[in-house]
Amino acid sequence: MMSVPRDFVVPFEGMEGILIDHNLCQCTSHSTSCILHNLARFFYENIQPDWEASNSSRKPPWPSSSRSTQSLVGPAHGLDMSEGEGIGIGRCVVVLAGGLSGGHKAEVLGAMFIVPQMDRAVKIWHFPPFPDDRLAREDKPLFSSTLIHKARVISVSWLNDDTLLTHSAPAVLSDDCGDDEQTPLRLEPGTVVLWRWTGLERFFPAHWDRRQRNFLGCASDYQESSSFKILSSYFLPPQETQYEAVSLSVTLDTGDPLILCTLPRSSVMKIVNITHWEPRREPQEPARNLQSFILSSRARLLDDPNDSQGWKVEIDHRYTELPDKEPEFIESCMMCLGGSMIIAGGSRGSLWVWTV
């Protein structure tokens, strides 16, 4: 019998489950938590919820709206379920808890060993050992920062041990710091940022082979860390609303890391080589008109028609524009098999495959 999922996971743009080494499945959800399931081991004993309030080693079960009944929904924040965790394969073994000391404060949108979410924070987590008789809970990440992006973080990818690539949705900003409700708002395009985590050596020193069971940093690590350095940053093309964002995926098995991305309501994909990016510009003397200075100094990705650093892949209009039907656009895309295959999914359920 398969263990039932312990969390309330619903389809939502950006939310996902990722398979790690064919043994572990990491899922994200609306509950601000991230759940890790073990797909390789068969569990014979069912973990029952702990109803004794005197047992301080367990957290209380997820409360219900009525005091006379127990809630049967999957609990958030790593709390105990009202029922057992199940037997068989697929049991939840680790919960990266949200809403506690350093956890997420909004919906988790994706996972790649580090987790992007709605509250524009990027967090790097350490997986604790997997005990047999209880769930492993972790609420303090090794790194957490909301200074990399100004809006919700949509995707995150590891390029090597300490270098990462993240991209965000458009941000709604105000030029006035007052509380006036009539303050005009502006929409700033999303960003794609290449950055380095400078705190890696503190937690994982070089030539240190002994495995640590506990990783505990200072409060600034899991609340608002400054242990990062931005290597390069680009603005994505502007969108009409903050709900529309660029779909982006990264492949590393092609020699140079490549980005495959597509814009909303577009039938064109573009491949960009990250090694061609320019380093982050040094601060210059402020201009008199700050807004015009910012607009003129922006470096944009995918926005230059004469850009020779990328390649375009376009779907023939014969396949996207059919009579009496809405035009079909690319919703998501990915590159695999060493860059020799590209797979794209359309808004009407079509699937396209390109091979080299």
Please give the single-letter amino acid code of residue 58. Answer: R
Residues 281-330 pLDDT 10s: 765 555 555 555 455 555 566 555 445 467 888 887 776 667 777 788 88
Residues 109-138 pLDDT 10s: 655 555 555 678 888 887 766 666 666 777
The SS3 of residue 222 is helix
pLDDT of 4 over the 60 cut: no
Residues whose CB is less than 8 angstroms from the CB of residue 259 and which lie 6 or more positions away in sequence, other chains included: 165, 192, 248, 249, 250, 271, 272, 273, 274
254 confidence band (pLDDT: 50, 70, 90): confident
**pLDDT at site 139:** 74
Rounded average pLDDT over 242-254 = 85
Question: Rounded mean pLDDT of the chain?
Answer: 71
pLDDT of 262 over the 70 cut: yes
DSSP one-letter string for 227-271: -EEEEEEEEPPP-SSTT---EEEEE-TTSS-EEEEE-TT-SEEEE
**pLDDT at site 142:** 86
Residues 200-239 pLDDT 10s: 888 888 877 776 666 777 777 777 888 999 999 888 888 8
**pLDDT at site 164:** 93
Measured distance CA(265)–CA(262) in Å, rounded: 9
- Tokens encoding 85: 């965790």
Where residue 261 falls (left for φ over 0; alpha for ψ -120 to 50; beta otherwise) is beta
| pTM of the shown model | 0.70
**pLDDT at site 196:** 94
Please give the single-letter amino acid code of residue 345. Answer: G
CB 158 within 8 A of CB 166: no
Share of the chain above pLDDT 90, in %: 5
